Amino acid sequence: MLPVVRELRSCTDAVISVDTRHAAVAAAVLEAGADVINDISGLREAGMAELCAAARCGVVAMHMQGRPETMQDAPSYGDVVREVRGYFEERYDFLLGRGLEPEQICWDPGIGFGKTAEHNLALLSNMDKLQVAGRPVLLGLSRKRMLGAVLGDAEQGRAPLSTAVMTVWGHLHGAQIHRVHDVAECARALRLIRAAEPFVR
C-alpha cells in the first residue's frame, strides 16, 4: 500500500483516501502522502482520533453494526435512520473531544455493513437526516450486494447502471460525496440530474 500512496502523491494533487481502522497503518499512509482516513469503525482504535487530529487530515467515520465477521448475521434496528444519526452524534462529540475540527469530518452510513436491504434503502432515502453538525455524507453503494438483492439478480446488481441509478437517488436525498467503481457512468448521471435541479419548483 505505501508504494502506491507514495507514487500517487508524486504524480497527482488529487485527494488520496485510504481505508483503515488501525492507527499504525493510518500513521504510515499519512506520512506517505494520504489526505483522508476512511475508518469503518468510526475511529474507535486507541490513538486513531488523536493521530488524525494532529495530522489535520480528513476523516470518514462510518457506521457499522457489529464486527466485519458477524455484521450480516442478523442486523436489527428499531429505527435505522434515527440510530445511525445517533451514532454520528456520539462520534461527533467524541472526535471533537479528541481535537478534530468539524471541517475534518465526513459521515458514511455504511451501506451493507450490518444492514439488510430494507435498512439500506431507508438510509438511502434519508441521507439529509444524517448530516450531523452539517457535515457531508459519503455514499458508498457501488456494486453492493443489496443492489442485487433488490433486483433479484446478483450480476445485474453489479452493473454500472444499477449503481448509477441509486447514486442519483442518494444524491437527491442528501448524499454529497459518492464512492464508486464506475466513475464515468455515475458522473454522467449526476451531471444530468444536477442540470435539471435548478428548474425544480
Q: Does residue 144 have an active-site annotation?
A: yes
Catalytic: which of 9, 82, 144, 194? 144
Angle between helices 48-55 and 80-97 in degrees, nearest 10: 60
State how far the Cα of 151 lies from the Cα of 165, in Å rounded to an integer.
12
SS3 content of the chain, % helix, strand, coil (to 5): 50, 10, 35
Does the CA dihedral 70-74-76-80 come out positive or negative?
positive
State how far the Cα of 48 lies from the Cα of 174, in Å rounded to an integer.
28
Cβ-contact 135, 176 below 8 angstroms: no
Catalytic: which of 67, 115, 179, 194? 179
Q: Enumerate the active-site residues.
A: 144, 179
